[in-house]
Chain A
Amino acid sequence: MTDITTRPADGGAGGATLSLRTFAPAIFLAPAVLLLAVYLLYPLVDSFRLSLLDWNGLGSDARFVGLDNWKKLASDTLFWEAAWNNILLAVFSVVVQMPIALILAVVLDNAGKGSRILKILYFLPLLMSSVALGVLFKYFYDVTFGPLNALLDFVGLGYLAQDWLGDTRFSLGAVIAVVCWQYIPFYMVLFMAGLASFPAEISEAAKLDGASETTIFWKMKLPHLKGTMRTAIVLSVIGALRYFDLIYVMTGGGPEGSSELMATYMYRNVFSSFQLGYGSTVASGMFIVVILIASVLLRFSKRYETEV
């Protein structure tokens, strides 16, 4: 029945040979898989391996300590306080960023001609590196020379001036404020896209039915944004759980751990205290915490997904 004569006639080049064709998927995937295996998978696994050691990273005197590090982690108040700070960051970044971003999206939606310029300017914070922002706001918050305290002084609220970054009561809040400042434009653009995707016919039909702009906004446009909101919240929380750069530059996690995050705590253990083993335990612990919270969040918010 089958007679494999592949004698190419005029015009038939045939392309790749049979064996090349069978391995084609593997060839296309190889570079990506290889890189991910080396730089993502292996480090993940290695992190767990290192967590079982007591090692300062320099010499070769690594001692196997089994689960000692993990026991230490479980009762390490500093770690759990840092984790709590991550959660506070997540909560506040949602609570502060979402409403403001939404309001700004509405502003731009109604701004008409000015919206182009506004959009360009609003977006600037996202272009800065976290180092740049960290240093900039470090001086902004400076207790003696910082413009913030100078401004408060100027408007007669001088008594409100604080050592924002140096006071354990305010350091986390000050840092959260900067994170929000940086990322609000991101969610603003997200919501703008959501608002733009609202079908114009619906608001036209509603207007014919006598509804006002406000009614249309609250009763129709907002519900339409449910799916976008879900995406925004998920991104915000997951981002907050992984945060590092800005905090490290601005406060290093201090003072006294008041603005410590899991990632900065890990960094400090490894590169300041030279506890590679325990630092890796922190890292692996952080991984587990993030994955858990992320999966719970994703599963819980599935019902708010936009129907396609």
Chain B
Amino acid sequence: MASSPVARVTGRVAVPVLGLFWLAVTTVPFLFMVMTSFKSQQESFSSSVWALPEALDFVNYESVLNGPFLTYFKNSVMVVVISVVLIMLISAMAAFAFARMRFRFNEALFGLIVAGMIVPIHITLVPIYLMTRQMGLYDSQFALIGPYVATSLPISVFILTEFMRQIPKELEEAARLDGCGPFAIFFKVFLPLSGPGLSTIAIYNGIMLWNEFIFAYVLTSSTGTRTLPLAIWDYQGQYTSNIPAILTVVTLTSLPLVVAYAFGQEKIVKGMMAGSLKG
């Protein structure tokens, strides 16, 4: 049952060709984006769109970075870091309860929380908007943290519970013999051993929340409180037809994640695939 010549040629030629084709498809938009960001506004109108920039003109970058761009960045960092820390702690506590404690409704509650992964979060947008206004949190970074943490909990709890189930029961028993109550067992044994699981959900949620748009858009309004994805939206107004400038903003907002990706590529891919574990 040797492969036919046709199959072999297809294998040897078509497959690499497709691979290269897709490489082009993937990278061309990015190249276009970066390329254009180095053009001046006039240049983008006068010369062909696909032409390389005449010179590496940083005028757009200067203009963007002189604006409130760094404020957006700072807000993103603050909101995402606080949210991720809270997510790790809260989901770890819940996961520990589901994985290791015996109580009524254990399975039922777990199923309910996991089912929360299906709910389209935009449905909660309006009620949360109203609630946020009522709480007086409107247009503050803290408005985002509650929804961000809550919407990330189902999948985080799901992943961490699976993870904690794998921790050998004997360790828990040894800790009990050593005099640990449930809190000591959680903080001194389970939490340290959940490192890989915690980093997975930190990365997954970190990336999701970093790029989150609609809640930030609805719950904040002033530049002082808005996060990075909104920079692009807000700058659209300022730079209306200055395409290179807008693409500069796009490039700059994408840069942090790409840089992080360059450093921790393996971990980030693994983390982002965490969303696929629901199966």
A residues neighboring B (CB under 8 Å) = 11-16, 20-21, 24-25, 28-29, 31-33, 35-36, 38-40, 42-44, 46-47, 50, 57, 100, 103-104, 106-108, 110-111, 118-132, 135-137, 139-140, 145-147, 150-151, 154, 181, 185-186, 189-190, 193, 210-215, 227-228, 230-232, 234-235, 238, 241-242, 244-245, 248-249, 263, 266-267, 270-271, 276, 279-280, 283-284, 286-287, 290-291, 294, 305-306
Contacts of B25 in A (CB 8 A): 181
Assess the A132–B253 pair: CB atoms within 8 A: yes
Assess the B97–A28 pair: CB atoms within 8 A: yes
Assess the B150–A36 pair: CB atoms within 8 A: yes
Please measure, in the bound complex, the distance between the C-alpha atom of A248 and the C-alpha atom of B218, giving whole angstroms.
13
Chain A contact surface mostly: helix
- Give 25 A-B contacts (CB < 8 Å), ordered by A residue: A28-B94, A28-B186, A31-B89, A32-B91, A43-B123, A47-B123, A107-B18, A107-B22, A111-B19, A128-B254, A129-B213, A135-B232, A136-B247, A145-B44, A147-B32, A147-B49, A193-B273, A212-B7, A231-B278, A241-B120, A242-B121, A245-B214, A266-B126, A267-B125, A287-B123
Assess the A242–B50 pair: CB atoms within 8 A: no
Assess the B93–A283 pair: CB atoms within 8 A: no
Contacts of A33 in B (CB 8 A): 94, 109
Interface residues of B in 231-279 (CB under 8 A from A): 232-233, 236, 243, 246-247, 250, 253-254, 257-258, 261, 265, 268-269, 272-273, 275-276, 278-279
Interface size on B, residues (CB 8 A): 95
Q: Please, what's the 1-or-0 string for B90-134, where 1 marks a CB less than 8 Å from any CB in chain A?
A: 110110110001010000010001001011111111111011000
CB-based nearest A residue for B273: A189
Assess the B94–A150 pair: CB atoms within 8 A: no
Q: A31-B93, A103-B15 are in contact. List 10 more A-B contacts (CB 8 A).
A: A25-B103, A32-B90, A47-B123, A104-B22, A129-B211, A129-B228, A131-B229, A215-B3, A232-B276, A286-B120
Give the shortest distance, in Å, between B159 (CB) and chain A (any CB).
13
Assess the A32–B50 pair: CB atoms within 8 A: no
Assess the A15–B124 pair: CB atoms within 8 A: no
Q: Which of B32, B118, B128, B186 contacts A140 (CB 8 A)?
A: B32
CB-based nearest B residue for A181: B25
Contacts of A145 in B (CB 8 A): 44-45, 49, 243
Please measure, in the bound complex, the distance between the C-alpha atom of A12 and the C-alpha atom of B179, giving whole angstroms.
6
Assess the B116–A36 pair: CB atoms within 8 A: yes
Assess the A43–B128 pair: CB atoms within 8 A: yes
Assess the B146–A39 pair: CB atoms within 8 A: yes
B residues neighboring A (CB under 8 Å) = 1-3, 7, 11, 15-16, 18-19, 22-23, 25-27, 29-30, 32-33, 44-45, 48-50, 89-91, 93-94, 96-97, 101, 103, 109, 113, 116, 118-128, 130-131, 146-147, 149-151, 153-154, 157, 176, 179-184, 186, 207, 210-214, 218, 228-230, 232-233, 236, 243, 246-247, 250, 253-254, 257-258, 261, 265, 268-269, 272-273, 275-276, 278-279
CB-based nearest B residue for A41: B116
Assess the A150–B19 pair: CB atoms within 8 A: no
Q: From known contacts A122-B23, A147-B50, A151-B50, infer whether A44 and B151 are also in contact, taking CB-CB under 8 Å.
A: no
Q: Which of B16, B122, B254, B269 contacts A244 (CB 8 A)?
A: B122
Assess the B90–A31 pair: CB atoms within 8 A: yes
Contacts of A215 in B (CB 8 A): 1, 3
